[in-house]
Amino acid sequence: MKRKKAVLLAAAGVAIALFFVLDLGRFLTLESLKANRQALLDLHAMYPVAIVAGFMAVYIVQTTLSLPGAALLSLAAGALFGSLLGTVYAVLAATIGATLAFLVTRYLLRDAVLARFGPRLEGLNRELETRGLNYLLFLRLVPVFPFFLINLAAGLTRLPLRTFTFGTLLGIIPGGFVYVNAGASLASVDSLAGIASPRVVAAFALLGLFALVPVGYGKWKNRKVAAKG
């Protein structure tokens, strides 16, 4: 088991190192996507299954290893596959990648993550332990914490895998659609920052608050029962 763990960690370390050494991030820019969109569309027309599979593989690796580029990949999904299918591919890939990151943290990197992010994760861990799915939905809908940090925090808790996977899948659909839909009209996108406008963020915050309604009701009910007792 220790040998397998060491091999997996070494492979992940090599992949991360190659990403930065080879400066692969230069391909994950808005300018690069616009410049290469037609070539990618042509490849998709010739090899549709391979391009979809390749795209999802890249997105899964990016998310699992917490590498930069998630927003750009969501834009690329819209530019290549359209709003509907692009959202399906991007959301599925992000969910799979997040689930793998969750599992890696839980079974391979627990001590390292605690040493690196422990103090920052205390509040998240506590709420995820006690509020479960509802709090996870809130975190996914409202961009309060970085996506990768939620994956790490959840992996340190006793949150069931199925709850994490379902909550992630459901919670990232709205945000994923916003970026993928923007990518479907790529020519009109001037910057990544402009996609998540204050109005869009406010809408996500409202959805997140709805996710917390059952939590608030539960607290109120418990206090009422305690007062009667």
Q: What is the pLDDT of residues 119-169, one digit of tens each?
A: 767 777 777 877 778 888 888 888 777 888 889 888 888 888 999 999 999
Over residues 91-107, mean pLDDT: 94
Span 3-11, average pLDDT: 68
Q: Average of pLDDT values for 59-72? A: 92
Rounded Cα distance between 186 and 190, Å, is: 9
What is the rounded CA–CA span in Å between residue 140 and residue 129? 16
User: Would you say residue 217 has pLDDT above 50?
Assistant: no
Q: Which residue has the higher pLDDT, 159 or 226?
A: 159
Closest CA to 77 of 69, 67, 66, 89: 89
* Closest-CA residue to 62 (of 24, 110, 88): 24
d(CA 34, CA 168): 29
- Residue ranges of the alpha helices (H) in 47-160? 48-64, 70-81, 83-107, 110-131, 133-141, 147-155
Structure tokens at 32: 């690069």
Phi-psi region of 67 (alpha: psi -120 to 50; beta: other; left: phi over 0): beta
pLDDT at 219: 57
Where in the sequence is the domain holding 31, given as residue range(s)? 2-228
Asked whether the predicted pLDDT for residue 225 surpasses 60, the reply is no
Instruction: Give me the residue label for tokens 């709205």.
Output: 174
Number of domains in the chain: 1
Q: Would the pLDDT of 103 be above 90?
A: yes
Average pLDDT across the chain, whole number: 81
Query: With the C-alpha atoms ordered 75, 80, 85, 88, is the resulting torsion angle positive or negative?
Result: negative
- Lowest-pLDDT choice from 6-10, 172-176, 206-210: 206-210
pLDDT score at 199? 58
Is it the case that residue 95 has pLDDT exceeding 70? yes
CA gap 229, 204 in Å, rounded: 38
Q: Are 63 and 74 in contact (CB under 8 A)?
A: no
Q: What is the DSSP letter of 26?
A: G
Query: How confident is residue 27, by pLDDT bands cut at 50, 70 and 90?
Result: confident
Higher pLDDT, 54 or 189: 54
State mean pLDDT over 54-72.
Answer: 93
- pLDDT beyond 60 at 32: yes
